[in-house]
Amino acid sequence: MEHHFLLAEIINKILGPIVVWISKIVGLKIVDEKYPIPDFLCFLLIIVLVSAILHWWSARKYSVENPTGMQHLFETLYEGFGDIIESVIGEEGKKYLPFHFSLGMFIFLSNISGLIPGFESPSSNINFTAGCAIIVFIYYNVIGFKKSGIKYLKHFMGPNIFLAPLMIPIEIVSHLARPFSLAVRLFANIFGEDMVILVFIGLLPFVLPMPLMFLSILTSLIQAFVFVMLSMLYISDALPHEEEAH
């Protein structure tokens, strides 16, 4: 029998019947109607809900005249993130700052949530990481077409029209590999971390796991940063360059 987390079981008891009812209306088939919401989606829902509540609560205390320490922290992080994206994409990069900052915070919270007892990192599920990767893939391609129109397809043809028959299949495979590599990299790292921590908790609880947990927080931050950094590079590559404008 498959083991489920207590919080996930509670959410399925509350929201499960609603999900089953909606699925029947739209014609979707659910394998297990008694447990229609997977564990990682339950924890994802909790993370989104808690983040929204904390954002609403902290936004009420934001002040220009008397900023709090938390406000200073987030403003510093946001401005630092803005400097990074501007150095990667250019001055136009500030337009894409809200998306990347939100994505980075979302992935980081999903990464470290597995350190909370009774929780599972949504990032340790390939479906979650694949979803984030597909969003990035669609996002940067939409930006490419929005900025360049049909000329965006020239990115797939290479520097010379005579090389197009060779470059087009290579570029297509290269672009399709991007979401795959993003998803697998994040999933493998977070899943591996969670498994290592669980093993050491079983061997020496409260001794070895603590340093590993601090290390896990650092690596979770790095993995979120790498994911967002690659997304910035993909957008930079999709945008029209100066030489293309002439």
| Per-residue pLDDT reduced to its tens digit, 203-235 | 766 666 677 778 888 999 999 999 999 999 999
Predicted confidence (pLDDT) per residue in 100-112, tens digit: 999 999 999 999 9
pLDDT score of 245 = 45
Backbone angles phi, psi at 121, to 5 degrees: -65, 120
Is 100 contained in some domain?
A: yes
- Which residues neighbour 31 within 8 Å (Cβ) at sequence distance 6 or greater? none
Percent of the residues in the chain that have a pLDDT greater than 90, as a whole number: 37
Of residues 29 and 13, the one with the higher pLDDT is: 13
Q: Is residue 112 part of a domain?
A: yes
CA 218 to chain centre: 16
C-beta separation of 168 from 156 below 8 A: yes
**Residue 246, pLDDT above cutoff 70:** no
pLDDT of 80-106, one tens digit each? 888 999 998 888 888 899 999 999 999
The answer, yes or no, to whether residue 132 has pLDDT greater than 90, is: yes
Q: Which residues contact 34 (CB under 8 A, 6 or more apart)?
A: 12, 16
Residue 107 lies in a domain: yes
Residue 9 inside a domain? The answer is no
Question: In which residue are the tokens 């950094």 written?
Answer: 229
Residue 143: predicted pLDDT:
93
CB burial class (10 A; 0-12, 13-18, 19+) of residue 173? Answer: exposed
Average pLDDT over residues 2-14: 83
Report the number of distinct structural domains present in the chain: 1
Is residue 12 domain-resident? no
Residue 167 lies in a domain: yes
Q: Which pTM was predicted? A: 0.86
Q: Answer yes or no: is 19 within a domain.
A: no
Whole-number pLDDT of residue 241: 67
Of 104, 37, 117, 42, residue with least CA distance to 77: 104
Torsions phi, psi for 99 (to 5 deg)? -65, -50
Residue range of the domain that includes 105 = 71-245
Q: What is the mean pLDDT of the chain?
A: 85
Tokens 């591996």, located at residue: 192
pLDDT > 70 in the chain, percent:
93
Report if residue 220 sits inside a domain. yes
| Residue in 135, 144, 146, 221 with CA at minimum distance from that of residue 186 | 221
Tokens of 18: 């609603």
- For residues 229 and 232, give the distance between their C-alpha atoms in angstroms, rounded to a whole number: 5
